[in-house]
Amino acid sequence: MSSLTSLTAARLAALIRTGEVSSEEVTRAHLDQIAAVDDRVHAFLHVDTDRALEVARRVDAKRRAGAPLGPLAGVPVAVKDLFAYVGAPTTCGSRMLENWCPPYNAAVTERVLAADMVILGKTNLDEFAMGSSTETSAFGPTHNPWDLARVPGGSGGGSAAALAALEAPVALGSDTGGSIRQPAAVTGTVGIKPTYGGVSRYGAVAMASSLDQPGPCARTVLDAALLHQVIGGYDPRDATSIDAPVPDVVAAAQSPDVAGMKIGVVKEFGGEGFEPGVERRFHEAVAALAGAGAEIVEVSCPYFPLALGAYYLIMPSEVSSNMARFDAMRYGRRVGDDGTRSVEDVMRASRGAGFGAEVKRRIILGTYALSSGYYDAYYGSAQKVRTLIIQDFRAAFSTVDVLMSPSTPTTAIRIGEPLTDLMAGYKADLCTIPSNLAGIPAGSFPAGLSDNGLPVGVQVMAPVLADDRVYRVGSALEALLEPRFAPLTKEAR
Amino acid sequence: MSRDELLEFDEVVAAFDPVIGLEVHVELATLTKMFCACSTRFGAAPNSQVCPVCLGLPGSLPQVNGQAVESSIRIGLALGCSIATWCRFSRKNYFYPDMTKNYQVSQYDEPLCYDGSVEVDVDGELITVPIERAHMEEDAGKSVHVGSLTGRIEGAEYSLMDYNRGGVPLVEIVTKPVLGTGAGAPAVARAYVATLRDIVRALGVSDVRMEQGSLRCDANVSLMAKGTTTLGTRTETKNLNSLKSIEKAVRYEMCRQGAILAAGGRIKQETRHWHEDGSYTAAGRSKEEAEDYRYFPEPDLVPVAPSREWVEALRATIPAPPRERLAALREQWGFAEPEMRDVAAADAVDLVAATIAAGAAPQAARKWWMSELMRRANAAGLGLADLAITPAAVAQVQGLIDEGRLNDKVAREVIDAVLAGEGTPREIVDARGLAVILDTSALQAAVDAQIAGHPDVAERIRAGKTQAVGVLIGAVMKQLGGQADAASVRALILATLEG
């Protein structure tokens, strides 16, 4: 039944609900696919085989007993390894937390479990989500199923690659500067960053608290919406959670109608630094939407080019503080505690050994940016730019319904490339960062292949709490553009 | 440790104007912690009141305790502060094992309460202490250093951490620099903290017990040469565990800094610790560089924006200032001003009030606490409230006197027995057979015997020299082993001699 792994989550849920297949069969098919391909892809850091099958059997029993089942009951899901899940390690891709098992569940973990979904395991990521390639993971990079010599993007490369390699139908991600959307773009999958506060951050190990946002990853727009509905909504444990109903993303994902919609194309995101094949696919996608009745206008967002700089001050500032708790005193990897050293020395040795280069780089950058005497020039200025970007969005959304841009300037780069060219790695998030700074919802959708045969993603951005507009345009794109599958996927089909 | 050179206090205030500034931390008596639902109960088993949030586990997030915000606003209002319409929490970043996140969630440039003042009564003189701010923050855990003689970190073999206190809500109240108090600076510092404590206690938002750490005070002291207006370099003294130590530490710092400045030296800006045992301050571990806390707005929390309606509703719940309460009580109890001032200075207002409420007459209640019990507290080095006797027991002793069952001498014995933990006054009187002799025939027999034994004295009384009755009273009391009511004996002697 290996074809089960190529079905959508929506279809699998329907088959399970009617009893045509069992959740156990579906789960086993995905576990088999993981066993078959993950030594090459390395999407997973931990496969929770026994518990996944146990949960699947429980869902099957529930169905047989006639108990009511949620819309994704029995469907497997892969979980980015920064969401706390009791009974499994939550490593964040770091040596620091190599053996750390949280005593509590993240809100999103709780919600997928409560929805009777089956957690397959934990997926790879850049260390503490800091990176755009999954190469900063202490446990080795994830490989892009389209070309195993290339990165799957990051930080959520594990979740995106698992989808592209048919190891899971849907996955959980988190997006601080593009960590859901950028991997989706370079793996030909769908990734949505909801409105900030739309999905609870409780139990998601923080990178930059004011930017982090958990969200759904999937191969289809409807699957992303179904998962979004499961994990979305108010949670009093997250003070930044929005106490408002989740926008009807599932209905929007089934409404591929953009006639009369006003779509703005961000003028600033194109040209130099953008791969021609990416730009061509983007313009074709926009043209297809125009052909379907959408009104296309070019919109200037003059402060967007400053977003990357502001991001690389605000994000590391918060990182420097969020990473402080990892001092090896209460949990995590402890080094050099031979009974003769002071607390400070043990903390220093443990942090030195536990954190990788990218984490240290950001801690140093952020510590500097927040230092007295530099605060106003760096953190303070960056916050001002953040306000200007919010104003850019506000002005744009006063004239258009959504904004569009390529999701990334290029297709997937080769493993090893971003680490030798730091700025190239940082620029992978050029187009995705503004929506994090403004807290607005945005998604990346597949738009065919570039000249090099690698997938291209296009980004749709909408105003705060208008997540449904992102899905509506996404579903139109899905209907208008020919779907493509990774070679590894074809092999598996 | 070599002791500091000190300048005589009189010489200090002759040459310098002291400037003091006080930072008081008040632990709020909310049921739960500042950012999670853990209990705040004092004295529980170590690390039994912790959760992922106050342990700062990865991924956990804080939620603001609304009750703590309310208590903080009430403290601000009672201190005459303005209440911010919008303010944020900030992170104060520093590494120390008692901080589970290695940052403290506090407030920085946007405090909840600001610009207030407190009227402090120092020996009848009213002094206004200006308040800079009162802000919310979370407490740290507690380090227990094991293996050192002093219980301090120096020389310890290892340290244990108890995070029960971690995350308990605190309000930090900071004064502006207080100038112009001269020789009164130590007393003003003490009176300010005592007044602040009374204000907060009256609000019912904290236990404000210095010995349990629910009220903690750091004292900033600097000296300004007479005739100048530039503030001197200040030191901050921590570990002040009683009102007395605040006064003594301020005085000590003035004398220490005075000696350095008089000798042409310079004061080092530093944190010092008060050593109660030897009554001196000593520099804390010196840091090579000034601490940079890298404050920035706490991104895990949303701003606190108390509505004006809420603030006004809370304003209506603020009781009268303790000074006004004292005036009302003085009136009610009929105390003279110096009497009331003494009671207040001895921190005995609530004890006297409770004793009166338990049935004792106001003056009797005052006398017990301010004389007999004060003497015993001083001898034991305790505060009045720490004595092992309740206001109800004191009222009971007075009740027994009023009934004529105890005289003052026996009552003192009963008090001692209560303090020794032998039971309630009535139980002790019964158990020890201490009650005065009420049996008239027994009293009469003793009176008759002593009149017969002192015919000359009896004659003088009969001749009108009634002051001589004391001799006979003493003799009767001696015969009865003190267990008689002197007033009854006196009346009986006079009646017998007249009859």
> CA of A340: which chain B residue's CA is closest?
B157
Q: Which two tokens stand for residue B182?
A: 């001269």
β strands within A261-380, DSSP E: 262-266, 295-299
Distance from CA of A206 to the nearest CA of B (A): 6
- CATH 2.40.30 is the classification of domain B440-498: no
Contacts of A326 in chain B (CB under 8 A): 58
The residues pairing with B297 across neighbouring beta strands, listed in sequence order, are B90
Mean of pLDDT over chain A: 95
Q: Do B300 and A97 touch (CB under 8 A)?
A: no
Q: Do A324 and B102 touch (CB under 8 A)?
A: yes
Distance from CA of A394 to the nearest CA of B (A): 21
CB contact set of B183 (below 8 Å; sequence gap of 6+): B9, B10, B13
Q: Which two tokens stand for residue B228?
A: 């100048």
Q: Is B439 left (phi over 0), alpha (psi -120 to 50) or beta?
A: beta
Q: Which residue has the tokens 């939550």?
A: A90
> CA of B162: which chain A residue's CA is closest?
A330
Q: Do B294 and A202 touch (CB under 8 A)?
A: no
Backbone angles phi, psi at A79, to 5 degrees: -120, 125
Q: pLDDT band for position A489 (50/70/90)?
A: low
d(CA A371, CA B365): 59
Contacts of B161 in chain A (CB under 8 A): 329
Q: In chain B, what percentage of residues exceed pLDDT 90?
A: 62
* Closest Cβ opposite residue B52 in set A104, A239, A318: A104
Q: In chain A, what percentage of residues exceed pLDDT 90?
A: 92
* Closest Cβ opposite residue B58 in set A205, A318, A375: A205
CB B181 within 8 A of CB B127: yes
Q: Do A321 and B296 touch (CB under 8 A)?
A: yes
What value, to the nearest 5°, has the Cα angle with vertex B351 and ends B346 and B354?
Answer: 155
ipTM confidence score? 0.95
> CA of B296: which chain A residue's CA is closest?
A370
Distance from CA of B60 to the nearest CA of A (A): 5
CB A130 within 8 A of CB A451: no
Q: pLDDT band for position B437 (50/70/90)?
A: low
Q: Do A206 and B301 touch (CB under 8 A)?
A: no
**In the predicted model, what is the mean pLDDT of residues A106-119?**
98
> CA of A328: which chain B residue's CA is closest?
B97
* pLDDT score of A33: 96
Better-scored residue on pLDDT, B322 or A86: A86
Is residue A492's pLDDT more than 50?
no
Q: Which two tokens stand for residue B374?
A: 């004060």
Q: Do A97 and B301 touch (CB under 8 A)?
A: no
Terminal CA-to-CA distance of chain B, rounded, Å? 77
Name the residue among B453, B483, B458, B478 with its Cα closest to residue B468: B458
Contact status of A97 with chain B (Cβ, < 8 Å): yes
Is B115 strand, coil or helix? Answer: strand
Distance from CA of B398 to the nearest CA of A (A): 56
> CA of B98: which chain A residue's CA is closest?
A329
Best A176, A325, A329, A333 residue to mutate vs chain B (most B CBs within 10 Å): A325
Best A322, A323, A338 residue to mutate vs chain B (most B CBs within 10 Å): A322
* Closest Cβ opposite residue A325 in set B102, B161, B295: B102
CB B136 within 8 A of CB B107: yes
* pLDDT score of A136: 96
* pLDDT score of B290: 65
Better-scored residue on pLDDT, A394 or B401: A394
Q: pLDDT band for position B352 (50/70/90)?
A: very high
Q: Which domains does chain A have, with CATH numbers?
A: 2-264+400-492 (3.90.1300.10)
Q: Which two tokens stand for residue B472?
A: 């006979």
**In the predicted model, what is the mean pLDDT of residues B35-51?**
95
**In the predicted model, what is the mean pLDDT of residues B275-300?**
83
**In the predicted model, what is the mean pLDDT of residues A337-344?**
89
* pLDDT score of A491: 52
* pLDDT score of B405: 78
Residues of A carrying an active site annotation: 80, 155, 179
| Residue A357 buriedness (CB in 10 A; 0-12 / 13-18 / 19+) | exposed
Question: Among A57-61, A366-370, A418-422, B304-308, whose mean pLDDT is lowest?
Answer: A418-422
Contact status of A325 with chain B (Cβ, < 8 Å): yes
Contacts of A202 in chain B (CB under 8 A): 59-61
Q: Do B93 and A329 touch (CB under 8 A)?
A: no
Q: pLDDT band for position B285 (50/70/90)?
A: low
Distance from CA of A173 to the nearest CA of B (A): 14
> CA of B158: which chain A residue's CA is closest?
A339
Give, in order, the Cα–Cα distances in Å from A285 to each of A319, A358, A440, A446, A460. 36, 35, 22, 10, 11
* pLDDT score of A490: 55
* pLDDT score of B409: 79
One-letter amino acid at A73 equals: A
Is residue A488's pLDDT more than 90?
no
Contacts of B295 in chain A (CB under 8 A): 370
Is residue B440's pLDDT more than 90?
no
Q: pLDDT band for position B147 (50/70/90)?
A: confident
Q: Do A324 and B299 touch (CB under 8 A)?
A: no
Is residue A1's pLDDT more than 50?
no
* pLDDT score of B287: 53
* Closest Cβ opposite residue B55 in set A238, A330, A372: A330
Is residue A473's pLDDT more than 50?
yes
Is residue A215's pLDDT more than 60?
yes
| Domain ranges within chain B, ordered by starting residue | 9-315, 322-432, 440-498
Is residue B430's pLDDT more than 90?
no
Distance from CA of A371 to the nearest CA of B (A): 5
Q: pLDDT band for position B438 (50/70/90)?
A: low
Q: Do B294 and A327 touch (CB under 8 A)?
A: no
| Residue B51 buriedness (CB in 10 A; 0-12 / 13-18 / 19+) | middle
Each residue of A255-302: pLDDT tens digit? 999 999 999 999 999 988 899 999 999 999 999 999 999 999 999 999
Terminal CA-to-CA distance of chain A, rounded, Å? 10
* pLDDT score of B323: 82
Q: Which two tokens stand for residue A352?
A: 């030195």
Is residue B382's pLDDT more than 70?
yes
Q: pLDDT band for position B276 (50/70/90)?
A: confident
Q: Which two tokens stand for residue B279?
A: 């009554």
Contacts of A82 in chain B (CB under 8 A): 59
Name the residue among A138, A108, A103 with its Cα closest to residue A124: A138
Name the residue among B370, B410, B372, B414 with its Cα closest to residue B393: B414
* pLDDT score of A235: 98
Question: Among A227-236, B8-17, B483-492, whose mean pLDDT is lowest?
Answer: B483-492
Backbone angles phi, psi at B108, to 5 degrees: -115, -90
The residues pairing with A296 across neighbouring beta strands, listed in sequence order, are A263
Distance from CA of A372 to the nearest CA of B (A): 6
Q: Report which secondary-structure segment, H or E, holds B196.
A: helix B185-203
Is residue B295's pLDDT more than 60?
yes
CB contact set of A210 (below 8 Å; sequence gap of 6+): A196, A314, A318, B299
**In the predicted model, what is the mean pLDDT of residues A85-114?**
97
Contacts of A238 in chain B (CB under 8 A): 61
* pLDDT score of A493: 40
* Closest Cβ opposite residue A240 in set B60, B101, B300: B300
d(CA A207, CA A276): 33
d(CA B21, CA B40): 29
Best B98, B293, B300, B301 residue to mutate vs chain A (most A CBs within 10 Å): B300
